[in-house]
């Protein structure tokens, strides 16, 4: 089962990308082939979603400021020059949506990489950079019955003593790629990584939560995970809208096998229930009641069906 389908071969390209203050036609946004590999070593990025409101009059960009603050923080922690501040990046993002006349669910990807041809294998600190903002349509899975069969990976998650997991950097995802490839070869649709002490961290490109003894339990942010904005959103919704106890603590691998529910959470996957782990059914082997309730609360929020009392939505009028 292929889940992470943010783009496909027939996904239309936008008219423009934002590139250092200019709107560049998509087909002309080029770098030299010799720049690609080195530019990627230290590159940082973000993943942001804009949902079309049920009323059809606006795109609702979800937690845009928080995503762009993390983007700026990732550049700082990676020692990558970032000449743009959050307010400027917010303005650029909304200008890009306006220039492309975007009117559908859209994935937005800002990224920052070393500019030009850098001959050093290890990109030097302070090298000049370029910042781009790209976008493309996506199909949301919110409101659908869904799930995936997963496994626990033999690979270990990076930790803060090797390279900071809280940084959203392209090179961090090579760790996740190894785990995802292993899972795919074994016939699974997703995987969960443990840390060097055997504690649960996250999946490739997504955090993890389980329901046990009536509480929503998830690894802490110091446990080798990305400081996920979707994770934070769902913990708030679980606590404030569903009235669930929320516990952030280390989780043993064996606990996953006795959880009543288990799911991934992230911008790309939104909420993705795990139906079976390592061949063992999770709960009754179907999307659980907590996941369904969180799915509804999340969808109501991003589609504008409820008041945005937390200031998480940036409204972009359509037309």
Residue listed under structure tokens 């190894």: 178
> What is the token pair recorded at 247?
């516990």
Active site residue 149: no
Tokens of 231: 């994770």
* Location of structure tokens 């288990």: 262
Given 49, 115, 149, 168, the catalytic residue: 168
User: Residue 185 is encoded by which pair of tokens?
Assistant: 């070869």
CA distances to 37, 119, 159, 192 from 86, rounded to whole Å, are 27, 30, 27, 32
Q: Which residues contact 74 (CB under 8 A, 6 or more apart)?
A: 44, 45, 46, 167, 168, 169
Tell me 262's DSSP state: E
Quick one: tokens of 226?
């990305």
Give the integer Cα–Cα distance in Å for 242 and 244.
Answer: 5
Q: Are 186 and 228 spatial neighbours (Cβ–Cβ below 8 Å)?
A: no
Return the structure tokens found at 31.
């770098």
**Active site members:** 168
């Amino acid at each position: 089962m292929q889940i992470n389908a943010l783009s496909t071969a027939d996904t239309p390209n936008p008219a423009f990308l934002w590139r250092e203050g200019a709107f560049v036609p998509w087909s002309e946004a080029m770098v030299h082939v010799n720049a690609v590999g080195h530019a990627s070593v230290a590159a940082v990025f973000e993943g942001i979603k804009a949902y079309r409101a049920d009323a059809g009059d606006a795109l609702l960009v979800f937690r845009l400021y928080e995503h762009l603050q993390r983007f700026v923080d990732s550049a700082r922690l990676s020692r990558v020059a970032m000449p743009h501040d959050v307010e400027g990046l917010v303005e650029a993002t909304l200008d890009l949506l306006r220039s492309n006349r975007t009117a559908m669910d859209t994935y937005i990807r800002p990224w920052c990489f070393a500019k030009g041809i850098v001959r050093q294998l290890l990109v030097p600190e302070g090298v000049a950079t370029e910042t781009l903002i790209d976008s493309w349509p996506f199909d949301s899975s919110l409101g659908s019955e869904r799930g995936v069969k997963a496994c626990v990976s033999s690979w270990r998650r990076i930790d803060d003593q090797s390279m900071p997991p809280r940084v959203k950097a392209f090179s961090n995802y090579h760790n996740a790629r190894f785990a995802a490839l292993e899972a795919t070869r074994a016939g699974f649709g997703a995987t969960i990584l443990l840390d060097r002490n055997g504690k649960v961290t996250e999946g490739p490109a997504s955090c993890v939560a389980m329901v046990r003894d009536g509480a929503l339990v998830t690894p802490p942010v110091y446990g080798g995970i990305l400081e996920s904005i979707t994770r934070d959103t769902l913990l708030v919704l679980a606590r404030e809208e569903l009235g669930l106890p929320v516990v952030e603590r280390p989780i043993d691998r064996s606990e996953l096998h006795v959880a009543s529910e288990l799911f991934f959470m992230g911008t790309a996957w939104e909420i993705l229930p795990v139906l079976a782990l390592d061949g063992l059914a999770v709960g009754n082997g179907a999307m659980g009641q907590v996941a369904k309730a969180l799915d509804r609360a999340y969808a109501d929020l991003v589609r504008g069906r409820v008041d945005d009392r937390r200031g998480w939505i940036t409204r972009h009028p359509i037309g």
